[in-house]
Amino acid sequence: MSAITEPAALLRRIAFTCPACGATRPGSGTRFRCDCGTPFDIAPQTFPLEPSSAEALRATFSQRLGAVAGSARSGVWRYRELTLPLPEQGIVSRAEGNTPLHPVGAAADDAGWRRIGIYAGLDQLYLKHEGENPTGSFKDRGMTVGMSVARSLGARAVACASTGNTAASLAAYAAQAGLPALVFLPAGKVAGGKLAQSIAYGARRVEVAGDFDTAMRHVEAVADELGIYLLNSINPYRLAGQRSIGYEILQQLDWQAPDWVVLPAGNLGNTSAIGAALLRAHELGLIARVPRMAAIQASGAAPFYHSYATQWREYTHVQAQTRATAINIGAPVSYARARAVIEATNGVVAQVSDEEIFAAKAQIDRAGIGCEPASAASVAGARKLRAEGVIAPDAHVVAILTGHLLKDTAQATEEVTVSDDATEELMRQVRDVLQRLPA
């Protein structure tokens, strides 16, 4: 096949396929769910892999690390051969990805960071901080690909339902692409920082009475009817971009696979995408073995965990109720995809209480790293799985922090309140703090 230089021409070659019934659809369409109800995947082998050897791919990815211009600077498009080989002029990017992998295990160098590893009971723990993306969450990785496709296909507007982060990301990338954006938000349930972003970046907001699951149902119905391009993670191009989290972790570890990748799980898009990346990296010989995945749910919003606990025999939606608002989801769209990767990676699913989430968040915050509440589910989950003996104390564990501390300051860890009414009172509080410091 000769190189494709026109973005729409590449997209016209792509097909969607239903993992349940095998039906196919053009990948340039606006329907992301098969008639049987299952979300479509991008059909494999729609475009040939070039270069195809593991060695040549590693060399290509490593070369791009030095890029100073163009989309090669992006931690998503760096892996374009494995995500979507879209021609440069089709790409809407702002050098997303490139997020740090912080060593915080009990054996790490920095005393403050080591405390997180000690807390989790893990010597070799790394935090992949996806909150350090342009809009403060991992969503930017899927959005750069989704928005590039939307623009290349000539979409007139884009939309999503969101617990906040997808909306913030969609709003920013739509503004960059010059496309109108609609965000469907569960009224009163979106954290302040995220809402501020959607407003500031100029998205039109539709406040839905109900929760994320209701908003998701509405946007799917409306987008299809009005021909607005849907950019939730039901859109497989979003997931193609989010796969780059997996590739970037592996590259940062010099292609030595960790034992575990642990992450918060809500709508299950990220679990599916990262799992797919790890499996693909193994299939291509980029890594010698497949890391095990651990998807962590908040116990108030844990339909995936409950299904796993019945060996997948049962699966029912729930009325979600957790203070980790990003993962307050009771009817996850990517259930089938996520289940497939948990099974294929010999993975596990766990649930943690809001108390465990906020206790883990306090550790991450105090180390000077910080994250939003839902993100801390990964560390809380790693700690729990270590305590249960599922994860060994010397295992290499990567826990993903999905969002930035500033997304949700209402729930930032509280402890020291310093009043400036009176110097006396101020001094008393400072002395009080000093007294409680360890000697």
**Residue 401 bridge partners (DSSP):** 129
8-state DSSP, 139: H
Kindly state the smallest distance separating residue 98's Cβ from ligand F0G, in Å: 18
8-state DSSP, 101: E
Q: Which is nearer to ligand F0G, 149 or 349 (CB)?
A: 349
Kindly state the smallest distance separating residue 329's Cβ from ligand F0G, in Å: 6
Q: How are beta strands 292-298 and 260-264 bridged, if at all?
A: parallel
8-state DSSP, 398: E
Kindly state the smallest distance separating residue 44's Cβ from ligand F0G, in Å: 21
Q: Which of 18, 159, 182, 327 binds ligand F0G (CB under 6 A)?
A: 327
Q: Which of 27, 97, 236, 403 binds ligand F0G (CB under 6 A)?
A: 403
Kindly state the smallest distance separating residue 137's Cβ from ligand F0G, in Å: 5
From 193, 320, 186, 192, select the one nearest 265 (Cα to Cα): 320
Kindly state the smallest distance separating residue 304's Cβ from ligand F0G, in Å: 9
Q: Which of 140, 220, 248, 372 binds ligand F0G (CB under 6 A)?
A: 372
Binding mask 209-238 for ligand F0G (x = CB under 6 A): ------------------------x-----
Q: Which one of the spans 102-110, 160-168, 246-254, 422-430 is the region binding ligand F0G (CB under 6 A)?
A: 160-168
Binding mask 107-146 for ligand F0G (x = CB under 6 A): ------------------------------x-x-------
Q: Which of 266, 275, 291, 370 binds ligand F0G (CB under 6 A)?
A: 266
Kindly state the smallest distance separating residue 305's Cβ from ligand F0G, in Å: 12
Kindly state the smallest distance separating residue 334's Cβ from ligand F0G, in Å: 7
Binding mask 271-290 for ligand F0G (x = CB under 6 A): x-------------------
- Strands of 41-42's sheet, edge to edge? 24-26, 15-17, 41-42
**Residue 42 bridge partners (DSSP):** 16
Kindly state the smallest distance separating residue 3's Cβ from ligand F0G, in Å: 33
Kindly state the smallest distance separating residue 93's Cβ from ligand F0G, in Å: 20
- By CB under 6 A, tell whether 374 contacts ligand F0G: yes
Q: How many residues bind ligand F0G (CB under 6 A)?
A: 23
- Please report which helix (H) or strand (E) contains residue 120, including its range: helix 111-120
- By CB under 6 A, tell whether 74 contacts ligand F0G: no
- Cis bond before residue 51 (omega within 30° of 0): yes
Q: Which of 17, 270, 345, 363 binds ligand F0G (CB under 6 A)?
A: 270
- By CB under 6 A, tell whether 99 contacts ligand F0G: no
Kindly state the smallest distance separating residue 153's Cβ from ligand F0G, in Å: 22
Q: How far is CA 21 from the centre of its chain?
A: 27
Q: Are 138 and 400 in contact (CB under 8 A)?
A: yes
Q: Which is nearer to ligand F0G, 148 or 375 (CB)?
A: 375
Q: Give whole-number Cα distances, 385 to 211, 312, 314, 423, in Å.
A: 30, 20, 23, 47
Q: Which one of the spans 156-164, 200-208, 274-282, 306-314 is the region binding ligand F0G (CB under 6 A)?
A: 156-164
- By CB under 6 A, tell whether 375 contacts ligand F0G: yes
The pair of structure tokens assigned to 396 is: 């290499």
- Judged by phi (left if over 0) then psi (alpha if -120 to 50, else beta), residue 230 lies in beta
The pairs formed by 53-61 with CB atoms below 8 angstroms and a separation of 24 or more are 53/285, 54/284, 54/285, 54/286, 57/81, 57/82, 57/284, 57/286, 58/251, 58/255, 58/286, 61/247, 61/251
Q: Which one of the spans 81-89, 157-165, 310-318, 356-364 is the region binding ligand F0G (CB under 6 A)?
A: 157-165
The residue ranges of DSSP E strands in 84-146, in sequence order, are 101-103, 124-129
From 43, 324, 273, select the one nearest 138 (Cα to Cα): 273
Side-chain-side CA neighbours of 249 within 13 Å: the count stands at 33
- Strands of 181-186's sheet, edge to edge? 204-208, 181-186, 158-161, 229-230
Binding site for ligand F0G (CB under 6 A): 137, 139, 162-166, 233, 264-271, 326-327, 372, 374-375, 402-403
